[in-house]
Structures are given as structure tokens and as C-alpha cells.
Structure 1
């Protein structure tokens, strides 16, 4: 596509062609700020009316995806028509936009990108990043869907994230930890203030962790945004003698208490489940126990502690996420090994992630990821060895690492595949091997 086109002469492109075009629109991949994306959104008419009667935004370092998935599942179980926007995707770009539980089809996304492009080229041409253009497309798609609730996952930022052009009726911050240090820095208080930038004056703010920096609540206070904090206005506890059942205690906007017990373990962090329920109550949904139970027992989220045979796939890529995985990873059956297959990007805290995982995993396969940000398997191997782990093989790709493991996995072995969305996506794209061979001795270890 030419750099500039009259708004009435857009060529017919496939979704893949549109996605390739988006990669050429801006000189850098990430360019935090709202001025350009707001201007295009205004040209598109996205500010003329709300994209849905209720909008919930979810920001944070970890836990955004699981919180959003449980909001969607519970709301839909109550008969609500829900649209979601998330990023990144694992296998298909279509995953980023869902309406009533279904991924957007190619034609809807193409139509959305055409609207974005026409607005972008109108009058003075405006440059957009891939994420900004995709966000505008997603918001346009949701605005056409006649929703009851829209749930938007904020990207790596908060205050300056493209999603934040939309005013939320309820805003959530899940957790604050170090990640994307090149863009957000390492000061947790400052990161907290940036994430809290999704709050709006007088609108409910839900704080989904008991260890958030004080800056999050302080920012809400400056906006006079009423706060509901995990462990204070809402909480959860496990039922005595029933490890798989838990009870949620929440609070309506008027201060009235709500209690729902006998809830199933959703297989996702309970803090995030409790946060999802609190957000929905503040959104005006009258929770029904049976509907909540059904929703939490059936919710699914690809790439988050996702089990496929003996493989557990998790996209965790920072120490906070790795600590959660290490704590909740079940022991391998008697006589089996707990393997780790890891591939990471080189701008992540490699040592922090590895340090959290080697507590549970001693046997490793390291895999390289491609691109400028991809970390070589040899680098991961050196870090694991330094932390006392055993590296058995280094592979050029996640798929090659999985093939190697197919020849050594014993029947009771288990594999955690982790470190990046790219690692998990590569493995989800094809069948995962189960393996039946016995690994004899340590002759193939990297010393």
C-alpha cells in the first residue's frame, strides 16, 4: 500500500495484508501517548457515544487476562452481551476482539481497519503504531456490536496507553511489578501511578492486590475516585476442610455487603476472580450464585496454567508471574521429573524468572526466540546453570525443544513451557508430544 492514499480509494486487502501494512505506519513499535490516537478516534466518531452502556478497563503487570476472562464469563452467564479487547494474541489476531464469546471474523476486522485508515489519512495524515491502529479497530468493532458490557485490557502502560482514550465506568488495577522496564522504568511507585492513570474522577476503582504500591490508591484519591481494595472492601477465603471451595465477600456501590459461598476453583488466581466479581457488582450486575458457580467452573484462558496432557503452558515472563506458577505447579507423579522448557525475550528479567522457577524445576530445555528481542538459548542456559539448574538441551526454536523432549519424556514426567507469549504460541500451533522413553543418567546434560 502507498504511504498516502485518498480516503475513498483504499485497496481491497486481506487481514494478513492489513496487519503487515500496520507494521509500516510508524517509525517505532511502541510510542506512548494519546494525542495521535485520540485525534484519529475523533475522526472515526468513537467519542460521539459510549462503545457500550458499561465499560470496564483492566490494567496491571500480571493478572489482566485472567481477570478479564472471568469478568466475561460471569457476565455472559448472567445473560449479558459482552465484548472484549485484549492483547497480545497467541495464534490468531482475531483473538484480540471477541463479541458474545466469539472471535471477530476477518471481514469485521478488515472493515474496522478500513475505517481506521480512512480517518488516519483524512486531512493531515496521522502516524499510528501497530497497537494504536489495532486498538482503534477493536474499539470500532465493539462499538458496532450492541453490547451490554465492554471489557478492555490495557496494554503495557496505563495513563498513556491507547486503550485509555476510552473513559471507564469501572477501572481495575490487578498487580504492580517490574516489567517492560525500557518503557515503564523500575520505580514501582511510578509504575503504579502510570497504571492508575486509567481511573476516572468519581468512577469506581478496584484494586486487585493487597501489595500494590501506595501510589495507586493515592492517585485514585486525587481524582475523588471511590476505591474498593482487596482485603478491605472485598475479600475471599477458602472454606474450612474444602480446599476446592471458596467464599467471596464484596460490597455494592452503596456500601451494602454481598456474600457468595461454595464457589469453585476456576484454575486461575483467586485474587483475580474476587476482583472480577467486585468489578461486576460495581458495574450494576446483580450476581446470582448459580450463574457465578457455572461461570467460574467453565472459564478458560489459553496460555495461563493451561494443561495439555503432561504439558503445562504459561506465558508468564516476569518474576512475579513466575513465582505464582512455581507456587501453584503441582508435583509430578511419583517417579516423574518436572521439566522446564523456557524461551524468553532479552529485555525481560531473565535471572528473576529463572530464580523463581528453579525452586521447583531442576531439569531444563532452553529454546531460542527469533527477532531482535529474542534471547538465545545459550544465554538462558548459562543463567540456569548459574542458579543451580541442569540444562539438557538447547534448541533453535520452541518446536525443536518439544521434539527433543518427545524422545526423553517418561510416562510420569511433566513439562512447564514458559517465558513468553511467543514460546507458548509456537507450542500451541502444533500437537505436543507426550513421550514414553526413559531418560537414563545425566549423560546429555550441559555441564
Structure 2
């Protein structure tokens, strides 16, 4: 579920012909709360739209989990595309444009297609009796409608929040993936990892393959699959990955086809995303019957990109991680700055996240901090972040009212050997992606530390 949704009101606008921005503004006011878990209302509207009468694509893969959903989905898409398949995806949240949430054959959905989708959702929603939908529910129905009209070979759906009661779960997947389980969205999912696992495993279907993409999942996930007699494929058991001894920068994947026979692909490049997720992506695709071609997989992993996940722009690393599990991964994979350089952290978070847990994970790597405020009732103030970092012994140099102002301040103090991790929220990263980021204070010509 997007961590950027505004509060809703109960006063809808009059129905008119709307542009996409006008539709999005309208949808923000349809429901009294931003997050309202449950499938009854969204299923009723989906049935009115005919979305559940037939599959939206010949194969559907649904991805749930606390972290790694976006990475897994991006690699499934890249590999399938490299094999010549026509792929559609539905993800959330977006960084810069709403259109990012729906992609058809590698391209963001055009405004016109999304507007048509929202018009279909609205007509179905207003049939008697009228049904109220959240912003996310309406967007999910629109996305599913767009995918259903696009003549796909494969549709890949990312769960927003949880799994069992998420709007995406109205669609029955052919293969379901749970990537990781950790604490996040505690107000809705609680803090019991076993229960969180059961919620995520709510996307499993009876008799259909379930891919478990981590060796550290709570037992409740596999128990849910077993209760449904869903064939289970777990990392470290039915599929695995390992570094190649002769090529330290390459790795090998081994897995199983749907009939239980084994398959292996070696000499795979580092995709720049978690290898656990890459392995799960290959296992899921093998279960759709796709004959994996080594060269196509190599091409896909060498070219896959996912904005906002350890994304480098000059000396800036942007990562949307907003829980301790994600922050720990970032800290482990953040390279050291050049000798003499400082590692800065620009952080902005929402106040319903585990702020202390994220800071604790990052303090192993961050020596200098800039704290920024995020907007809205859920936005944490920079002063609060600063207090928590200082209490842990961190050094906060500046507090800014926005991520943009934090970046502007850094423009005057960065040296060419400094590096900056910008993290804590989709909102933080989105704000910085929309502007030109500073690359460091220019040094006199000929200086040995000039920018390279």
C-alpha cells in the first residue's frame, strides 16, 4: 500500500469527463479512510466490471512480502520480456508518475488507457447500490482492467499491504510468491511475525504453486501452503543460488520445473538487486512452463533496473527502504566512500514506521546526517528524527523542512569524495528524483580529488 496516500473525505466530486490528474484527485475523496482492508466491496465492483469472469492473462503471478516485492517483480518482468513474452505489471506506490503503477510490455500505461479504466470502475461502482472504494482499491481495479484489455502472455501483480485482504487478492494467481516477512505496517498487520506470515500467505491458492523466497520465513507461511495442498518451492530446498567458484562476480541458479524435474543455469550476472529475489523470480517463471534460456536470462539480469532501490545518481544512492529489514540490507550493500570521503545520510520518514529500528540499522554505515520533514499527518518532522539520531550517538548537521531543501544544503558542503544515502520513504526518494542532485563542491582545477 502506498505510504503517501492522503486522508480521504466523504464528499465526492460531480461526475464529469476528467483528465488523469482530475481522476486521481477525485478518487482521494471517495472513501472516509485511506486504508480499509477487506475484499467484499472491491470484489463486488470487480464482478460488475466482469473482471473475475475470466483470467486477466493466460498466466498470473502475484508477489507479496514485507521487502523484495518490487525487485522480484522487476526481475520476473525482465526475464519474461527477454523470452519474447508480452508482460503486464501492476505495482504500488509510484515515485514520479501514477502511470508507473501499470506497465504494458515494458511501457507505462498512457493517460488515456488509465482514464478509460477509471471510467469503467466508476460506472460499476455507482450501480445500485453504490459502493465506496478507497484510492488504492479503485486504482487496483483500474489496473486490472487495463491488463485484461492488453492481450498479455503474463500478468505480474504486486500486493500493496498484507496479502489476504489486499485488493490485489481478488485475482487467483497461477503462482504466488512470498518474498520476506518482517515488521511493517504494524497498525494494520500487528507485530506477530507468524500472523504477518499468515496474512502474506493469504495469496496462496489450493493446488497452485507457492514460492517461498527466503530461508528465514516464519513456519506459518509453509503451514498455510500445506493446508491448501499448494506445491511448495522454498529457497534453500527446492531452489537455490550460489556463487561460482571460478567467477566470483557470477552466480548459479538451480530449481525445479512444475513436474519436479531439476533445472540449473550458471554464469548469471549480478542484477544489482537481491539474489534471493532473482532466484525466486526464476523459480516462479519455471512454474509457468516458460522454457528458460540461459542467454535470455543473462541479458535480462544484466539490464534490469528498478528506480529507488540502491539507485545511484552520481554520488547519491537512493533507496526507498522504510523498515529495519530493508535498512539492514541497504547498510550491508552500501559501498564505502573513496578514502577521505564522508558517508552522509539524508533521511525522511513517516511517523508510523519503526524509526528507531531503521536508524539503528543505518548507523553502522552513516557517519553524518541530514534530517528532513515529510508532509501530511503521517510525516515525521526533521527535529524528531534528529533527536532520535542524536540519542543514538549520531551526528546531525542540518534539519530541513523538505527533502529538496536538505539536498540544497548538502550542495554547499559535499566534497567530490563524499557519498549520500537518501532513504526512509518513497516520499523522500520521489522528491529527490524530481530534481537535479548536487555532485559535490568543485575543487580548484588540477586538484587530485577532482570529480571522476
TM range (shorter): over 0.9
Match of 2:172 among 146, 167, 191: 167
Q: Are the equivalent residues in 2 in contact too, given 1:18–1:113 (CA < 8 A)?
A: yes
Q: How many residues align?
A: 434
Structure 1: how far apart are the matches of 2:171 and 2:177? 14
Structure 1: how far apart are the matches of 2:244 and 2:233? 23
Cα distance change, pair 111–325 in 1 and its aligned pair in 2 (3 A) = same
Q: Are the equivalent residues in 1 in contact too, given 2:239–2:254 (CA < 8 A)?
A: yes
Residue 290 in structure 1 maps to residue 283 in structure 2? no
Structure 2: how far apart are the matches of 1:27 and 1:163? 20
Equivalent residue for 1:138? 143
Match of 1:150 among 147, 155, 158: 155
TM-superposed CA distance for 1:362, in Å, is: 1.1
Equivalent residue for 1:441? none
Alignment deviations for residues 280-338 of structure 1 (CA, whole Å, 9 cap, x no partner) = 00011110000000000000000000000000000000000000000000010111111
TM-superposed CA distance for 1:242, in Å, is: 2.6
Structure 2: how far apart are the matches of 1:424 and 1:354? 17
The 4+ residue runs of structure 1 with deviation greater than 3 A are 1-5
Equivalent residue for 1:425? 430
What are structure 1's unaligned runs of at least 5 residues? 439-447
Alignment deviations for residues 114-161 of structure 1 (CA, whole Å, 9 cap, x no partner) = 000000001110000000000000000000000000000001110000
TM-superposed CA distance for 1:49, in Å, is: 1.0
Equivalent residue for 1:59? 64
Structure 1: how far apart are the matches of 2:246 and 2:293? 24
Equivalent residue for 1:266? 271
Q: Are the equivalent residues in 2 in contact too, given 1:70–1:299 (CA < 8 A)?
A: yes
Q: Secondary structure at the residue paired with 2:103? A: strand
Equivalent residue for 2:358? 353
Q: Secondary structure at the residue paired with 1:36? A: helix
TM-score by length of 1: 0.96
Structure 1: how far apart are the matches of 2:316 and 2:414? 11
Structure 2: how far apart are the matches of 1:221 and 1:162? 24
Structure 1: how far apart are the matches of 2:352 and 2:430? 19
Match of 1:389 among 386, 389, 394: 394
Q: Secondary structure at the residue paired with 1:258? A: strand
Equivalent residue for 2:118? 113
Alignment deviations for residues 54-102 of structure 1 (CA, whole Å, 9 cap, x no partner) = 0000000000000000000000000000000000000000000000000
Equivalent residue for 2:218? 213
Equivalent residue for 1:224? 229
Structure 2: how far apart are the matches of 1:3 and 1:62? 34
Q: Secondary structure at the residue paired with 2:62? A: strand
What are structure 2's unaligned runs of at least 5 residues? 1-9, 444-452
Match of 1:190 among 195, 201, 205: 195
Equivalent residue for 2:4? none
Q: Are the equivalent residues in 2 in contact too, given 1:78–1:291 (CA < 8 A)?
A: yes
Residue 304 in structure 1 maps to residue 330 in structure 2? no
Q: Secondary structure at the residue paired with 2:266? A: strand
Structure 1: how far apart are the matches of 2:271 and 2:249? 9
Match of 1:89 among 79, 89, 94: 94
TM-superposed CA distance for 1:4, in Å, is: 8.5
Equivalent residue for 2:77? 72
Residue 25 in structure 1 maps to residue 43 in structure 2? no
TM-superposed CA distance for 1:3, in Å, is: 4.2
Equivalent residue for 2:446? none
TM-score by length of 2: 0.95
Equivalent residue for 2:6? none
Structure 2: how far apart are the matches of 1:243 and 1:207? 26
Residue 378 in structure 1 maps to residue 401 in structure 2? no
Equivalent residue for 2:257? 252
Equivalent residue for 1:123? 128
Structure 1: how far apart are the matches of 2:263 and 2:70? 25
Equivalent residue for 1:50? 55
TM-superposed CA distance for 1:257, in Å, is: 0.6
Alignment deviations for residues 220-252 of structure 1 (CA, whole Å, 9 cap, x no partner) = 111000100000000000111533100000111
Equivalent residue for 2:450? none
Structure 2: how far apart are the matches of 1:111 and 1:279? 32
Q: Are the equivalent residues in 2 in contact too, given 1:170–1:279 (CA < 8 A)?
A: yes
TM-superposed CA distance for 1:425, in Å, is: 0.1
Equivalent residue for 1:443? none
CA RMSD, 1 decimal: 1.2
Equivalent residue for 2:440? 435
TM-superposed CA distance for 1:437, in Å, is: 5.8
Equivalent residue for 1:315? 320
